Amino acid sequence: MPAHPPAISRRRLLRATGGGVLAATAGAGVWARLVREEPLTRAAAPARPGRSPVAAANQTFLHVIAHADDALYFMNPNLEQSIRSGARSVTVCLTGGESDGRNAGPDTPDPDRVPHDRAAFARARTNGLRAAHALMATGDADSPWDLAAISLLPGFQVELHTLREAPQNQLIFLELVEARAVSAPRAVSLRGLWLGAADALPTLRPAGTPVQAAYRYSRDQVIRTLSAVLDRVRPTVVRTLDPNALHRSTAPLAAADPRLAGLRYFDHQDHTASAYFAQAALADHWRRANGPPAVVENYLGYELGVLPHNLDPGAARRKARLLSVYGWSGGRRCGDPAGCGDRKVGDSAYRAGSRDWIRSTRLRAPGSNAWIRPLEDGRLAAFAVLSGRAHCWTETRPGSGRFSAPAPLGGDRLEGQIHAVRHPDGGLHLFAARTVLPGPGTAHRRELLTARQAGTARDGTPLFPHWVPLGSPDPDPVRSLETGFPVAVAAPDGTVHVFVRTWDGSLAHRGGPDGGRWTPWRRLEGPVGALTASPRIVDGIDACVDSEGMIHLVAPSGRTVHHWVSKEAGRLPRPGAATGLPEAAGPVSVVPLADGAVRVLFRRAGTAQVLIAERRRRIGSWRVAAQCAPVGGYGRVAAAPAGAGARMVLAVRDDAGGVRAAMAQEVPGPWHTGRVPHSGAAGVAEDAGGRAVVAVLGNDGRLYTARQPAAGPQAPFGAWAQAGSRGRGVD
């Protein structure tokens, strides 16, 4: 991960970026003591009985990172769950992470006497990563690896590490020189190469490498190398770091080369640039249609330090134990004089400065609460992004419980999850986001898109022939890269309203009658009690129309949940009174009930426990009405009305990466467990027979659903079934 610049420690970095303001300190000593008491052996994950319908042979994971510890800090617990599943897992590390070459940390005796040896330190970091991966895969950090030099691009060699006892686990190192600074402009860096400030980026050969020479990679050669990895691995899930990092200061970076000047960001420049290169390689890979449909997940980096913690303590402890193995805590011997891990990390996972990264995992795309919707004839339709394009699964007939194979709906380089809106006439409207990569005459920017249903094909698939760009509320291309993911509603008069987080942490709106003739982007009035520093509003908003036609919009910030509501039916919402609700550990979902009441669902910061808050129309104030039994996990709580009155269905990701679903009326019922590893947020809906349905996009790129055998709050959920399959479901 971090380049470990000697001038600034992780703790000082978090304080400098505002992490100290939001970081919880109460109980830190107790938390650290509990972690230290855990043995550094197999990092046991929660057990789940039964067999998963998502076969390991049908899942392949590719992780693209900048530094050796990035995935351990930012992609876990998902990384560990993928490795433990037995599926193929390949991690590509772009840089050697050589930093200043001094393998010393806060606990190193006489650190000034440790020599500067960048080749040795790069190898030590590799050894630490191998130990952590071996522990996840086999339970033994010392499980041996086979090392070889391979060519992915003519004239270039890279390191390939294969875990001998579990050869489906591999590590690939390009060994490019890192930036050696979090933000300071440097032409010799991934960012400099991406922006054209450097024609080529050199490699640094680690100690003991079988790679026969040092190389210089052009921008195109890095992209082609990653594209070759994609061709070789053929992943169903691609994980990268955050390509849309948020700025932390409007004071520009001064640089002699104007191409390197720009905003200061929360995240490390290598993280962001590595994600850009991955996006470019994916575009090339998909253009050649080379591989199975793939899901892409982008993970937040240093920004975690200024956001509420979203993992429960157990998940955080597992991350910390794996990082302590990577950090060579305890002086484990590996037989390599270069070193067996990264002492700059050491056991710092237990310290306050790094704990903020340990105690959170967030995707840049917050997930949609509206990706499965009924069509005009009552059949359910589910929408997802595969290989950058929209796809749709439809029920064979209303309430049948069987879904078709996915049908492509177009779109290009789409990201995250689709948000679907149902018009009063029963037609659907889709919303998505995408990044436009730079090219001749094309600026690197981010924009929203929409597609209106135009009938139904003979096979029953809804038709969306035209994807229309909606632009961004921030026309400046650089600022547009921070545009959030859209949510939308259709008012009773047919007007469609779309909302999105902006560059400056506020919310913006566009509207159009029947989803056409869109108004210009305009910012909404700020919420009551909003933060004045970025980030203000955190991406993960939601909207609904209540039973009286009022539009409700909810959004999390670093301290509470904010609420906007229409003063008249169908009108643009305005800030409501302060909710008084606790800070949310991620996205917020809103559900309309009877008599103008609404509920919001979100996870409590620090525990991941699901809370249900309610606002009744006549009272107008918010209260936490119920809390669900803790199941861990992170991300959006999927929720939808289910039947009359206050009944609803909800679903979440749990601590093992599976699905939990429940019915709720006045209080939530028991969780029903589904061992279905998946990407993004679950989807929930009510079918034509009044039965609750839960859907997820599996890590194999296939749709899985479970539903009640009969309508009602007490009916359990049946077995999970794969869409397009005639086979029996699996519990």
Task: List, for residues 10-41, the tens digit of each pLDDT value.
Answer: 333 333 333 322 222 223 333 333 333 344 44
In angstroms, the CA 178 to CA 488 distance is 41
In angstroms, the CA 536 to CA 521 distance is 19
Cβ–Cβ under 8 Å, residues 79 and 106: no
Phi, psi of 489 (to 5 degrees): -140, 160
Cβ–Cβ under 8 Å, residues 620 and 639: no
Bridge partners, residue 487, by sequence = 499
- Whether residue 319 is predicted with pLDDT greater than 60 in this model: the reply is yes
pLDDT band at 528 (very low <50, low <70, confident <90, very high): low
Give the model's pLDDT for residue 350: 59
Give the model's pLDDT for residue 356: 80
Between CA 204 and CA 209, with CA 207 as vertex, the angle to 5 degrees is 80
Cβ–Cβ under 8 Å, residues 688 and 378: yes
Q: Which two tokens stand for residue 367?
A: 């997930």
pLDDT band at 102 (very low <50, low <70, confident <90, very high): very high
Give the model's pLDDT for residue 3: 45
Exposure of 8 by Cβ count < 10 A (0-12 exposed, 13-18 middle, 19+ buried)?
A: middle
Give the model's pLDDT for residue 17: 32
**In 107-155, beta strands by DSSP E:** 145-153
Residues contacting 597, CB < 8 A, separation 6+: 546, 547, 614, 615, 616, 617, 646
CA nearest neighbour of 693 among 707, 704, 680 = 707
Q: What is the mean pLDDT of the chain?
A: 90
In angstroms, the CA 81 to CA 59 distance is 12
**In 567-671, beta strands by DSSP E:** 574-575, 589-592, 598-603, 610-615, 622-627, 638-641, 648-653, 659-664
**DSSP letters for 22-44:** H---TTHHHHHHHHHTS-SS--P
Its sign, for the CA torsion 264, 266, 270, 274, is negative
Q: Which two tokens stand for residue 661?
A: 């679903």
Give the model's pLDDT for residue 430: 98
Q: What is the mean pLDDT of residues 308-333?
A: 94
Give the model's pLDDT for residue 223: 98
Q: What is the mean pLDDT of residues 624-642?
A: 96
Residues contacting 65, CB < 8 A, separation 6+: 1, 71, 75, 91, 92, 93, 94, 240, 241, 274
- Whether residue 45 is predicted with pLDDT greater than 60 in this model: the reply is no
End-to-end Cα separation, the chain, in angstroms = 38
For residue range 154-187, list pLDDT tens digits in order. 999 999 999 999 999 999 999 999 999 999 999 9
Give the model's pLDDT for residue 251: 80
Cβ–Cβ under 8 Å, residues 657 and 85: no
Give the model's pLDDT for residue 646: 82
For residue range 229-256, list pLDDT tens digits in order. 999 999 999 999 999 999 998 788 888 8
In angstroms, the CA 687 to CA 707 distance is 9
- Whether residue 380 is predicted with pLDDT greater than 50 in this model: the reply is yes
pLDDT band at 9 (very low <50, low <70, confident <90, very high): very low
Longest dimension (CA), the chain: 75
Q: What is the mean pLDDT of residues 644-669?
A: 93
Give the model's pLDDT for residue 243: 98
Q: What is the mean pLDDT of residues 603-617?
A: 95
For the full predicted model, state whether its pTM sits above 0.85: yes
Cβ–Cβ under 8 Å, residues 241 and 259: no
- Whether residue 535 is predicted with pLDDT greater than 90 in this model: the reply is no
pLDDT more than 90, % of the chain: 82
Other Cβ atoms closer than 10 A to 621: 12
For residue range 268-297, list pLDDT tens digits in order. 999 999 999 999 999 999 999 878 999 999
> Within 13 Å, how many C-alpha atoms sit on residue 97's CB side?
31
- Whether residue 88 is predicted with pLDDT greater than 50 in this model: the reply is yes
Does residue 184 sit in helix, strand or coil?
Answer: coil
Question: Comparing 570 with 369, which gets the higher pLDDT?
Answer: 369
Domain boundaries, the chain: 10-22+61-358, 634-731
pLDDT band at 1 (very low <50, low <70, confident <90, very high): low
Q: Which two tokens stand for residue 10?
A: 């992780």
Own/partner contacts of 612-618, CB < 8 Å, gap of 24 or more, are: 612/664, 612/668, 613/561, 613/579, 613/581, 615/563, 615/579, 617/546, 617/548
- Whether residue 152 is predicted with pLDDT greater than 70 in this model: the reply is yes
In angstroms, the CA 437 to CA 353 distance is 35
Q: What is the mean pLDDT of residues 102-121?
A: 90
In angstroms, the CA 717 to CA 703 distance is 17
Q: List the strands of the sheet with 445-452, edge to edge.
A: 414-422, 428-436, 445-452, 467-471
Does residue 465 sit in helix, strand or coil?
Answer: coil
For residue range 427-480, list pLDDT tens digits in order. 999 999 999 999 999 999 999 999 999 999 999 999 999 999 999 999 999 999
What's the CATH number of domain 10-22+61-358, 3.30.1380, 3.90.1070, 3.30.70, 3.40.50? 3.40.50
In angstroms, the CA 192 to CA 213 distance is 23
- Whether residue 551 is predicted with pLDDT greater than 70 in this model: the reply is yes
